[in-house]
Amino acid sequence: MAKPVRLGLVGAGSIALRSPLAHISVGDVKEEIVFGAICDPVPGRAKAAAEKFGVPQHFESFDEMVAKGDFDVATVCSPIGVHFEQGMKLIAGGKHIHFNKTMTTTRAEADQIIDAAAKKGVKIVASPGQMLRPQNLRTRKLILDGAIGQLSWAAVGAGFGDYHQEEGVRQGSDVLTNIDPSWYFRKPGGGPLYDMTVYGLHTLTGVLGPAKRVTAMSGVLVKERDFKGKKVACDADDNTVILLDFGKMAFAYVHGTAAGMVNTGGWGVPNYYGTGGSIIGTTLNGKPFDYPGKDKDPQGHGIGLLKHAKGKHGGMEEMHVYEDLMQLADWVREGIPSIATAEHARHVVEIFDAAYKAAATGQTQALTSTFTPAAGA
C-alpha cells in the first residue's frame, strides 16, 4: 500500500477548523492522510490549532511553511483573494493542491494555475465537488435523456444575509473562536458569488455542461456591516444577477445577492424547467426520482453518500469539503483522478469574471473555457 500523504493546511480559520482539522483528527484515515504542517498569519492561531489537533509543525508565515514544512499536499483554506498567489508558490514547491472554493478570482489566474501545475506534475482538486453527489449525476442523465423535454431555463443562487457574522466559530474570545469574517465583504475575493453561488453554479454547469455567454448586473448594496460591534467597510459586490446562455435556446438565471434565494428544493440546488416538465431538487415533475444510494439519503442532499462519508464523518460539519480533500489524497496515493477538476472550477471562475465585466460594460461576454462534464448516472 502507498504511504499516507502528509497534509499542509494553509490557514487555520473557519473552514480549516470545521473540516480538514476536525475530520482528519478523528484518526480513522491515518493510513491515507496525516497532518504535516499548518500556517496562519494571526499570531498564535496556527500554534493553537496545531496543539489542539495534533499537527506536528506550525508557522505564522506561509512562505516559511512552503520552504520548511513537511507535507506533500496542501488544502488552501485562506481567503479567496490570495488563492492564486499561494497556489503558484505551492506548485513551484511541487505540492499537490486542494483549493477550497473558489479556486481563483479571475480566468487569467485560473489559466496560470492550471498551466503551471501541468508543467510541474502537480495534481489539483478544486472544491466544491458537487458532481460527486449521485443525485446530480442522475439529474444530468435525466435531462440528457429528455425527461423534461427540451430544456428551457434553469435557476440557482444564494443570498449572503448575516451568515458569516453569526457563525459560531466567530463568537468566542480565544484565537480559535474569534475568526474575523471581514474579508468576505472586501475585494479581492469577497462577495456571495465566490463564497456561496459557487456551489449552485458548479452543480448547474456540471449538469448542463459549459455555458457559452453571460451578461449581468452587479454592485454593492450593503456598504457597511457590523461584526461584534466593529464596523466593516464593504467594497466587494454583494448584489449580482446573471443570465447565462447554454446554447440551443437554453438559459439560466444565477444570483449572488445580499439577501434571498430564487430556487426551491434546497440551498444552492438548481431548478430546471423544460417543455415536458421540471426537476426541482430530487423530484421529477413533482415526484421523487431514484438515484444510487437514495435509500440511505433521507434528506436528499447526497452528502451522506459521498465516498468518505463513513462512521463519525457522516454527522460532522463540512463533510463535502473533507470529501474533496480525500479525493486528492486518493489521486496522489492510488492514481485515481477526481471529477472535481481544476478545469471545471476555471469555467465557473470565468463565469464570475465575465459577469463582472458584463455588468461594468453593459456588454454580453463570450465564454471560451470548457471542461468535460462527468457522465450521468
**Cell numbers placing 76:** 488552501
* High-pLDDT (> 90) share of the chain, %: 96
Q: What is the pLDDT of residues 314-330, one digit of tens each?
A: 999 999 999 999 999 99
The pTM score is: 0.97
Q: What is the pLDDT of residues 358-368, one digit of tens each?
A: 999 999 999 99
- The model's confidence at residue 65, banded by pLDDT at 50, 70 and 90, is very high
Same topology between domain 5-126 and domain 131-304+342-366: no
What's the pLDDT score for residue 121? 98
- The model's confidence at residue 1, banded by pLDDT at 50, 70 and 90, is low
Taking phi over 0 as left and psi of -120 to 50 as alpha, with beta for the rest, 85 belongs to alpha
**Cell numbers placing 293:** 444510494
Q: What is the pLDDT of residues 66-117, one digit of tens each?
A: 999 999 999 999 999 999 999 999 999 999 999 999 999 999 999 999 999 9
Q: How do the domains of the chain map onto residue ranges? A: 5-126, 131-304+342-366
Give residues with Cβ within 8 angstroms of 256, minimum separation 6: 157, 158, 159, 160, 191, 192, 193, 196, 197, 238, 240, 242
The CATH number, out of the four listed (3.30.360.10, 3.40.50.880, 3.40.190.10, 3.40.228.10), of the domain defined by the range 131-304+342-366: 3.30.360.10
Query: In angstroms, rounded to a whole number, what is the distance separating the alpha carbons of residues 377 and 375?
Result: 7
Q: HSE of 142 in the Cβ direction (CA atoms, 13 Å)?
A: 25
CATH hierarchy code of domain 5-126: 3.40.50.720
